[in-house]
Amino acid sequence: MILRIVTQFIQAQMSSLISTFVDFLLTAFLVKYAGWWYVYATLLGSIAGGTTNCIINYNWAFKGSEHRKRTIMLRYMLVWTGSLILNTTGTTLVANILSHDGTAKAFGIVMEAKTIVAVLVAILWNFTMQKKFVYKT
C-alpha cells in the first residue's frame, strides 16, 4: 500500500516535471520572443501543460483507474480548472509582490514567480486531487 502511494507520487511528480517543462517553455517563448503579456502567456502555458499532464497521468501514473475515459476527463477538467486559476492568479500575485514597481515586467521575475507557484500547486493541489478525486486510486 505505502509502496504504491510512493510510486504513484514519484510518477505523478515526473509527469508534473514534463508538463511543467512544456508549460514553462511555451510561457517563456510567448513572453520573451512573441511579446505576449505574461498573464496570457501563463494561461496558454498552463493549458498546454495541463493537457500533457492528463495524458501522461492517465497512461502511466494512475493507470490502475477503473473509470471510463469520459468520467476521468470531466473530473480532470474540474481539477485542472482549479490548478489553472491557482497558477495564473498565484503567478500574477507573486510576480507583482517580487517586482519593485508592482508591474512584473521583468522576464526573470515572472519565471521565478511561476516556478514558486507551480511547485506549490503541483504538490498541494494537483497530486492530491488527482489521486483522491480524478483517478480515485
Give the end-to-end CA distance of the chain in Å, rounded to a whole number: 11
The pLDDT assigned to 71 comes to 87
Domain spans of the chain, in order of start: 2-134
Q: How far apart are CA 133 and CA 87, in angstroms?
A: 19
Residues 6+ apart with CB under 8 A from 25: 45
Give me the pLDDT at residue 111, please: 86
| pLDDT tens sequence across 68-103 | 888 888 999 999 999 989 988 999 899 888 887 766
| Cell output for 14 | 515526473
pLDDT of residue 25: 96
**Spans of the chain below 50 pLDDT:** none
What is the pLDDT, as a whole number, of residue 118? 87
Give the predicted TM-score (pTM) of the model. 0.74
CA distances from 127 to 101, 114, 134 (A): 35, 18, 10
